[in-house]
Structure 1
């Protein structure tokens, strides 16, 4: 029985085009006690393959974290399957604001130690003692309160293209980096301020709120469903949108528009731009912001060095990528010294 993806991204892309079906991009997470993550993983792969689900899913003893796409005609069957799993019955699904049939091109379900790389020892505090979940309307009221400290729990490359006004946006590369930095910076306000947090879909705040309560913060709140759910409620309930710019997402779309503003700049020329790309040189693959003019001039690369490498024959490029030292350079996000206008 096939328990892994056998098709390349290009082959899957061709099949999606041939099928001609609208696909829905969505995400969800749930903390729960999973007895055997490997068996659970295989169960999901078998059933979701039949429904042509594609995406990136992490399973661990602590639950599931999923970003995926499903053909619209199969959505009800997919939801029925979720509801058949006790701890996923009625789970909130964050439906993407902007849809793209090719947001995911493979089904990858991986067993991990954790569904979120937070670097925390969960046995040292009560992970169920979470902050107060608030909807979009309450969130809007809270962040206008002078006694509120609003914190973006995402990474620098996410908040650079979009964030809530007046939010603290830590200059960090990973979620685990932000936890202690935020706690240290806000230590004087553990009792006299309201700590309000938000992230993309809610999962980072779910863990962070329990951690900060453990650290002595008395009034902890989190935006229910994150930016994705906030945007849906703002539109549905005709609320004021207090989010500026785009919401970074972890699929082929890279971002979806929430506010009308462009709050970031091209990392190469400095003109207003909020389009993330990956350097065309596969040995670099740097994530950075690049406008159309620079993309054309730099041949979709982040530096002159990468332009030169990307022009080499494929086998020569492949040889340059060999070795652990070279692989460690891949997937850095916007930190290259070659980027004159990086944040």
Structure 2
């Protein structure tokens, strides 16, 4: 039985276009005790492949972290399948603010050691002793309180294009990097300040809040449902939107606009811009911010060297890439000496 994706992204995109069906982009997570992640992974693939689910899903002994899209007409069946799994019954589904039928082009369900790479030894603290979950209304009240320390638990390239007013935005590449840095920087306020955290959909704050309580922070809060659900609640309840700019998302859209503010700039020319792209040179693929003018001038590349390679015949490009390992460990997202206007 086929338990893996067989179509290329290009082939899948053509099928989606031909089908003409509206798709919903959804994210969710759940911490749970999964005895055999591989069997669970295969179970999900069999059922979700039949429903034409596409996305990036991580499964581990500690639970599931999913970002995916599903045809709108199959949403009922998809939800019914989730509800048939004990720890996913009535799980909160974060439905994207801005829909894109091509947000995902493959179904990838991977077994990992953890559903979020946090670098923590979960046996050293009580991961269930989490912070207080707050909705958008209470969150707004808390961040207006002068005794609150508001912390963005995301990475630099995420907070660069959007964050809450007055938030602390650590200049880090990974969630793992941020944990000790935040504790060190806020160590003098474990007793007297409210530590309020937020992230994209809430999953990073789930583990971080328990970790910081373990580290001695007395008043720990987290935004329920993250930025995605905050934006939905603000619109539904008519609340003041305290988020500036875009919410970075991990699919082909790369961002959802939460407010009209543009707080970032093109990394190549410095113009006001918050559109993330990947360098068109396949051997680079650097994630960076590029305006339309620079995209045209640079042929969608991050540098003159990459532009030169990108304009070579495809077979020559393949020869240059042969034997070279390209990964995020080498090409940091949004970090490169060629980006003159990267903050």
Gaps of 5+ in 1: none
Displacement of 1:316 in angstroms is 1.7
1:29–1:138 distance in 2 versus 1, CA, 3 Å: same
Q: 1:154 to 1:317 in 2, by over 3 A?
A: same
Number of the residue aligned with 1:28: 28
Cα deviation per residue 1:25-67 (whole Å; 9 max; x = unaligned)?
0100000000100000000000000000000000000000000
Deviates more, 1:305-314 or 1:181-190: 305-314
CA contact (8 A) 1:283 1:327 kept: no
Quote the Cα distance in structure 1 between the aligned partners of 2:8 and 2:330.
20
User: d(CA) in 2 for partners of 1:56 and 1:189?
Assistant: 38
- Report the Cα offset of residue 323 of structure 1: 3.0
**TM-score, normalization: structure 1?**
0.99
Per-residue CA deviations over 1:247-302 (Å, capped at 9, x if unaligned) read: 00000000000011000000000010000000000100000000000000000000
Identify which range, 128-137 or 305-314, moves more after superposition.
Answer: 305-314
Q: Whole-Å Cα distance in 2 between the matches of residues 53 and 340 of structure 1?
A: 40
Deviation of 1:332 after TM superposition, in Å, equals: 2.1
Counterpart contact for 1:284–1:329, Cα < 8 Å: no
Q: Does structure 2 conserve the Cα–Cα contact (< 8 Å) formed by 1:26 and 1:94?
A: yes
Please show how residues 1-343 of structure 1 align to structure 2 within 5 Å.
Answer: 1-327=1-327, 331-343=331-343
Name the CA shift for 1:331/1:52 in 2 (closer, same or farther; >3 Å).
farther
Note closer, same or farther for the CA distance 1:327–1:80 as it changes in structure 2 (3 Å cut).
Answer: closer
Aligned-partner Cα distance in 1 for 2:206–2:306 = 39
SS in 1 for 2:195: strand
Measure, in 1, the Cα distance between the counterparts of 2:267 and 2:339.
5
How many Å separate the matches in 2 of 1:329 and 1:3? Answer: 28
Q: How far does the alpha carbon of each residue in 1:166-219 deviate from its partner, in whole angstroms, 9 at most, with x for none? A: 000000000000000000000000010000000000000000000000000000
Tell which deviates more after alignment, 328-337 or 145-154: 328-337
CA gap 1:325/1:110 in 2 versus in 1, 3 angstroms? closer
Question: Matches of 1:56 and 1:101 in 2, distance apart?
Answer: 15
Instruction: State the Cα distance separating 1:127 from its structure 2 match.
Output: 0.3
TM superposition shift of 1:319: 2.1
Q: Distance in 1 between matches of 2:188 and 2:72?
A: 49
User: Is the contact made by 1:284 and 1:330 (CA closer than 8 Å) also made in structure 2?
Assistant: no
Q: Tell me the SS of whatever aligns to 2:98.
A: coil
How many positions carry a matched residue from both structures?
Answer: 343
Instruction: State the distance in 2 between where 1:331 and 1:9 align.
Output: 23
The Cα of 1:5 is off from its aligned counterpart by 0.2
- Cα separation, 2, equivalents of 1:327 and 1:101: 27
Q: Distance in 1 between matches of 2:321 and 2:56?
A: 25
What is the SS of the residue equivalent to 1:222? strand
Question: TM-score when scaled to structure 2?
Answer: 0.99
CA deviation map 1:100-126 (0-9, x unaligned): 000000000000000000000000000
